[in-house]
Structure 1
Amino acid sequence: MFSTECLLGSSPTNSWYSEISSYNFGSPGFSSSTGHFTQVIWKGSKQLGIGIAFTSDNRTAYVVANYYPPGN
């Protein structure tokens, strides 16, 4: 079973933010290892919607995030 934190979306958001440890502040920009982080902190992001779906055995969760406006 999954925690309430996961159901609220804070768990995936915290995970995406943790990509900060790979971000190169000396050469800012997008990279495949920090794309979630840059989207989470992008100053243009005004809204975030998160959807979570579970497999029938509840062992795997799929998380989708929609940012408004899109992009970063």
Structure 2
Amino acid sequence: MEKKKTEDEVFVCPVGRFFSDLEKASRKKSKFFDHMNLSRVEFLKAIRSLVDERIEDLEKKGSSTREKKATKIKVE
């Protein structure tokens, strides 16, 4: 019989964890942390642009495949 795992596995984004650990290390408000917060926003915007591009590519491929129809070929 298999043993049941008693601990839940948790997966965390390494970039998010980096920012979180960095904030915990120093609670002081400084220009550094202002820049880090802005960079976090920019990072997420960059990810969003990649996702948007991928969606556009998939939509273009999907519309071109809908136009194609199968041709029946008679085999002797």
Structure possessing the higher relative contact order (Cα contacts under 8 Å, 6 or more residues apart): 1
* Structure with greater proportional strand content: 1
* TM-score, normalisation: structure 2: 0.28
Task: Compare CA radii of gyration and give the structure with the larger one.
Answer: 2
* Structure with greater proportional helix content: 2
* TM-score, normalisation: structure 1: 0.28
